[in-house]
Structure 1
C-alpha cells in the first residue's frame, strides 16, 4: 500500500514522476522543456508521446525517476476522442489535408455499431503513415512529409472498450463540398501502441465513407488519471515551479501502485545497494518487484529467482535535485 506523504520541499527534491495535462498546440518535448526549467535539471523525460493536436495526460520523469518511464510506457491507456465520418485526411486527423469526402447520409447507427465491434478486442492494426515508427532508420512521419509512400506492417493491439458517447449529424458545412458528415464522441480503453487515429481511419473505411480524428484527449495511463495532473499556464504554457514540486510523485509511491512490494530490512537495503546477492523469503517473480527501504525510499526494481533478489534497475536514495 502506498504511503501518504506531504509536499516535497523545493530544495530537497530528489526525483519523481509528474503528471501533466498537456494543452493543445505544443509537443510532448515542449512539456519536457518546461519541466526542465521548473525543476532546474536537464534530466527529464516523458512516457507516451502526445501529438500537438492532442491534449491530456503526459507522464514526466525527473532525475533518476526517468528510469521508471520504461515501465510506464507499456501501460494501458484511456482516450476520449471525436471521429468525423465522411472525410479522410493524409494524417488521419484534422492536421492533415483532406483526400476525399463521401456523404454519410445512408450510414445507420447499426452499421456504425457493427464497424466498432470489428475494431474491438484483439485486432491487427496498421499504424498511421505519419506515426513515429522508424522505417529503415527514419521516422515514418518524416518520410510521409517528403512524399514517400510509407507502408507499415500491421501489429497486434487490444481495444478493450470502444464506446460511442454522442453522435452529431451535419447537413451543410461538414465538408468542403457540403456533403453530410457524422461526428462521433467516443471513449477508448486500449493497450499501449494503439493509434486512435487509425481507429478513426479504419472505422470510416469499413463504412465506405472514410474517417479521421478531429479531437483527442488522453485521460488515463494505467492507474494515473488526468484529474491529478498539473496544468500549464500562460501563453508560453509554463509550469509553476512551486506547484510542480508540490505535485511531484515520489518514486516509491509510483512503484507501489504498479508493482508487488518487497519491504526490505536495513541490512537488506545496504546489501542490495552494494550489489550483493540478497536472499528473500518469497516466491519467484520475474518482476519488477519494488524494493522499498525501511524509510520508504525506492531502492530498486528487482526480480526474484531461487530465493535471491536480483536488481533490474537501481535507484539512488540520496539524490538531490540541483
Structure 2
C-alpha cells in the first residue's frame, strides 16, 4: 500500500460512511484497501472514483452502508481545478502525453482574452452533451476504456447528458510556456470552481473548453471538495486515521441512520409498517402529510430516528427497494 504497513483495527468498523481526503498519486482502490485494514472488515466500498492525479473527498462506506452506494454515487459534486489551454494531452490531464499544437493553434493562444475564456465557460454551463475522456474508467463491453487504450485499441465513447451547475474562473489568467521535445509552446493557465452532476468528467470539460476556444487544453490540478451534502472540511487523511487506530480509538464514521437522514427525503412509519418493510412487503402510501422536506424519490422510511428501508411509490403503496434493517 502507498502508506506502508498499516495498523489493523481492533474491532470491525461501525456501519456508515467515512470521509477521506485522498492524496495525489493514490488510487481510489488503494483507499478502500486501507479502510479494509483500519476498519477490520472486507465490507468496504467507495461512492465515486477519483483519478490518481486528483485529490480530495472520497466517501467510503462500511458494512450495511455499502448497500447505499448505488444511491450515493448519483450525488452532485463540486471541484476546484487548474486548466491549461494551448496544449492538450491524450488523457486530458497532466498524466497523459502532450499533443503538439499546430502553428495556427499556438498563434490563437495569444489572441485569447480572459473574457473569451469566461464566455466559453458560460456556454458549457447547464445541460450539455459530453464525451468522456478516452483514458477513463468508463466501461465498454465490460472493459474499462483506459485498459482498452493501453492495449492499443481505438476507443470511441458515446456522448452522455450531464449538467454543469456552475463553471467559474477563480484566478487571473497567467501566460507562460509549455516545454515539449525541446520546443516551447505558449499556454494560458487559470483556476476554476465547478459544480456538476454525477458522471461528469472534469478532464473532458477542460478539453471541451479548449475546443470552444480553438486550442488544446488539459487539467493540471483537480481537487474534489463536495459530494452531495458531504464536504472536504470534514474529511480525514489516512495518516490521521492510522493514529486513531494505534491509539485504540474508533474511526470517525457517520452512522447509517445519519447518512440516510442527510441523503433522502424522510418518511415516518409505524412499528407495524417497519416490520412489513423489513419483510419486503408494501405499505400504504399516505403522503405528502408524512413526508418531511422535498417530495423526492426514492425516500427513506424511518421508525423514530432509525432508518428502516429505502422506498419508492407504486400506485397507492410504497415499495421497499432496499431493506436497511431486517
Normalised TM-score (structure 2)? 0.86
What is the aligned-residue RMSD (CA, Å)?
A: 2.4
> Could you give the per-residue CA deviations for residues 261-280 of structure 1, whole angstroms, max 9, x where no partner exists?
12233333233223344335
2:307 to 298, 302, 322: 298
Closer/same/farther in 2, CA of residues 311 and 212 from structure 1, 3 Å limit: same
Taking the aligned partners of 1:243 and 1:29, their CA distance within structure 2 comes to 25
Moved more, 255-264 or 197-206: 255-264
Structure 1 residue 118 corresponds to structure 2 residue 127: no
Q: Counterparts of 2:43 and 2:151 in 1: how far apart (Å)?
A: 33
Contact (CA 8 Å) 1:299, 1:315: kept in 2 or not? yes
Contact 1:32/1:46, CA 8 A, preserved across alignment: yes
Matched residues in 2 for 1:183 and 1:25: separation? 22
Uncovered stretches (5+) of structure 1, i.e. residues with no partner: 1-9, 318-322
Other-structure match for 1:94: 94
Distance 1:239 1:305 in 2: 48
Q: 2: distance between equivalents of 1:26 and 1:244?
A: 25
Once the 2 structures are TM-superposed, how far is the Cα of residue 17 of structure 1 from its aligned partner? 1.0
1:142-178 CA distance string (max 9 Å, x none): 111123221111111111101000134234x433322
Q: Determine helix, strand or coil for the equivalent of 1:193.
A: coil
* Distance (whole Å) between structure 1 residues aligned to residue 270 and residue 136 of structure 2: 46
Residue pair 1:34, 1:239 contacting (<8 A) in 2 also: no
CA-CA distance at 1:198 after TM superposition: 0.6
Correspondence for 1:175 = 179
Partner of 2:5: none
Which of 254, 260, 267 is the matching residue for 1:262?
A: 267
* Structure 1 residue matching 2:254: 3-state secondary structure: coil
CA contact (8 A) 2:81 2:222 kept: yes
Larger relative contact order (C-alpha < 8 A, sep ≥ 6)? 1
Once the 2 structures are TM-superposed, how far is the Cα of residue 307 of structure 1 from its aligned partner?
A: 4.4
Count of aligned pairs between the two proteins: 304
Which range is displaced more, 139-148 or 274-283? 274-283
* Pairing 1:40–2:40 present: yes
Contact 1:157 1:193 in 2 (8 A): yes
CA separation in 2, counterparts of 1:150 and 1:25? 25
Q: CA deviation at 1:13?
A: 5.1
**CA distance change for structure 1 residues 307 and 140 in 2, over 3 Å: closer, same or farther?**
same
Q: 1:158 to 1:280 in 2, by over 3 A?
A: closer
CA distance in 1, matches of 2:248, 2:231: 18
In 2: Cα distance, 1:157 partner to 1:219 partner:
19
CA contact (8 A) 1:133 1:139 kept: yes
Using a 3 Å threshold, how does the CA distance of structure 1 residues 244 and 95 change in structure 2: closer, same or farther?
farther
Query: Structure 1 residues 72, 243: closer, same or farther in 2, change over 3 A?
Result: farther
Task: Say if 1:77 and 1:192, in contact at 8 Å, map to a contact too.
Answer: yes
> What does 1:1-322 align with in structure 2 at a 5 Å threshold?
14-101=14-101, 102-103=105-106, 104-171=109-176, 173-176=177-180, 177-233=183-239, 240-241=244-245, 245-283=250-288, 287-294=297-304, 296-316=305-325
Please say if residues 287 and 301 of structure 1, whose CA atoms lie closer than 8 Å, have aligned partners that are also in contact: no
Equivalent pair of 1:286/1:304 in contact (CA under 8 Å): no
Secondary structure of 2:212's match? helix
For 1:81 and 1:183, how far apart are their aligned partners in 2?
11
